[in-house]
Structure 1
Amino acid sequence: MQFITNANYHFIMYQAFNAYHGAINTNDESVKNALRFSCIDKARAIFDTLTTEQEALIGEIFHIRSEEELEAFDAKLQNYLVPFPSINEKTVKKLFPKVKKLKAPDLPAEQMDRLVFLGWNDTGAQKKFIIAQHDHQLVAVHGSFTPISKKGICAFCHQNERVGLFKADIKAKGNNDNFRAIGQYICADSLTCSNNIKSESRLLEFINVLKA
């Protein structure tokens, strides 16, 4: 049964990596085991409920003792991934009805499946478009995007990457005729950002503000 989102997968593998590499840096077996159990607890905690089988799957982090076993765990997790929905031209037109002549990037199916969100830049118009999934529904936002010349912390993936200011207008409270701009510094390369995300919370919080 598929139950792991791509963001979940990134987080679980991060914990598996920490458990393995942390353990090889100490000779104290009790410290190693404490670290392994801590990483397992963190990985399990991102789910509201888990079956016995699902708990056991994540619990396999405890037994990783080599790079080969880490890779084998990675491969096994991928059998449980929930794929990101396929995005075609019809979907894009439906999600961005007021934007003319817009096309999403043509990604291979295996790359599309592994996305946390789909994002792309229209460099000519200095805009960025984002499609994500929330409560099993696709949601989309777009706004201006201005790259900056240095690295910074992305508001979505929280990694130090090349970023830019993504800014969009929302209606001011109590007045449907007035708008105010809100913005965040996010990755210029949305594919890199998607691959970095271990929790969708910051991404979805920002989208919810724009869609409110």
Structure 2
Amino acid sequence: MNKIEVYKFVKVKQLVYQLIKLYRTNDMNSHKTQKDFLLNEINDIFKEKDIDISDFITSIDDVKLTKKKAEHLLNELKVYIQDFEIPSSSQLEKIFRKVKKLKRPDINLIDTKEISYLGWNDNSSNRKYIVYKNLDDKFEGIYGEISPNKVKGFCKICNQESDTSLFLNKTKHNKSSGTYTKKGDYICYDSFKCNQNLDDINNLYEFIVKIK
């Protein structure tokens, strides 16, 4: 079965919620072009993978569509989501080989159809760990300090407003002298919520490049 990536499904959900908002306007006749655009955008995401969602499109092409009904319909589409592969314990040890006593996430609490990357906090050391698949579909990871202080702001990974914290990654500034520098920015303190908002994986890649 062909499947779409998690972040693309996030985009689908965003488009569906835009559609519901459009349906709440008084004059739908003047918004028909926008409605058709949203429906085509949703369909095209699945069409790229040769997935037929014509029944879903018909169901959401309804001015009486409620959020509850939309969520039920979206849930039925989750069979078309490609699960994020969870790295094994040995793979995590290899990714973070410089970290002593690595605190691993509780994988039993993770819905692999809800995340585009794996991120978790170690509150005892104020660290955040991020594991992702690179463009060659290989695991890579990064870790750094995460401030316990949260502020309302825009996350540099998902580009949405949320409770953000300053994340700092320590990198070697000068190999000969052994000096280090810290690079970072504000990102979601809660990586699961970040994944819920991430609709473009390139945002994650750009953030990683910036702070490495």
- Normalised to the residue count of structure 2, the TM-score between the two structures is 0.82
Indicate the SS of the match to 1:108: helix
How big is the shift at 1:180?
3.4
**1:102-144 alpha-carbon deviations (Å, 9 max, x no partner):** 1321132761342121111122222111011223222210111
Q: Which residue of 2 aligns with 1:165?
A: 166
The whole-number CA distance in structure 1 between the counterparts of 2:97 and 2:59 is 45
Indicate the SS of the match to 1:111: coil
How big is the shift at 1:51?
5.1
Indicate the SS of the match to 2:111: helix
Change in CA separation of 1:208 and 1:2 when aligned onto 2, cut-off 3 Å: farther
Change in CA separation of 1:156 and 1:116 when aligned onto 2, cut-off 3 Å: same
Q: How does 1:117-132 map to 2 (within 5 A)?
A: 117-132=117-132
Q: Which residue of 1 aligns with 2:23?
A: 23
The whole-number CA distance in structure 1 between the counterparts of 2:169 and 2:159 is 20
Query: % of aligned pairs identical?
Result: 24
Q: Which runs of 5+ in 1 are unaligned?
A: none
Indicate the SS of the match to 2:107: coil
Change in CA separation of 1:61 and 1:125 when aligned onto 2, cut-off 3 Å: same
Of stretches 77-86 and 160-169 in structure 1, the one that deviates more from structure 2 is: 160-169
Indicate the SS of the match to 1:181: strand
Indicate the SS of the match to 2:143: strand
Change in CA separation of 1:102 and 1:181 when aligned onto 2, cut-off 3 Å: same
Q: Which residue of 1 aligns with 2:190?
A: 189
Change in CA separation of 1:86 and 1:52 when aligned onto 2, cut-off 3 Å: closer
Indicate the SS of the match to 1:82: coil
Contact conserved, 1:44 with 1:58, CA < 8 A, in 2?
A: no
How big is the shift at 1:209?
4.0
How big is the shift at 1:198?
1.6
The whole-number CA distance in structure 2 between the counterparts of 1:132 and 1:58 is 31
Indicate the SS of the match to 2:70: helix
Q: Which residue of 2 aligns with 1:148?
A: 149
The whole-number CA distance in structure 1 between the counterparts of 2:133 and 2:198 is 14
Residue correspondences, number: 207
Q: Which residue of 2 aligns with 1:35?
A: 34
Contact conserved, 1:60 with 1:73, CA < 8 A, in 2?
A: no
C-alpha RMSD over aligned residues:
2.7
The whole-number CA distance in structure 2 between the counterparts of 1:51 and 1:130 is 28
Residue identity opposite 1:142 in structure 2: Y
Q: Which residue of 2 aligns with 1:98?
A: 98
- Normalised to the residue count of structure 1, the TM-score between the two structures is 0.82
Residue identity opposite 1:50 in structure 2: E
How big is the shift at 1:207?
1.8
The whole-number CA distance in structure 1 between the counterparts of 2:191 and 2:91 is 19
Contact conserved, 2:184 with 2:211, CA < 8 A, in 1?
A: no
How big is the shift at 1:176?
3.5
**1:149-190 alpha-carbon deviations (Å, 9 max, x no partner):** 432211112222221111113345xx5445432211011111
How big is the shift at 1:38?
2.0
The whole-number CA distance in structure 1 between the counterparts of 2:59 and 2:180 is 49
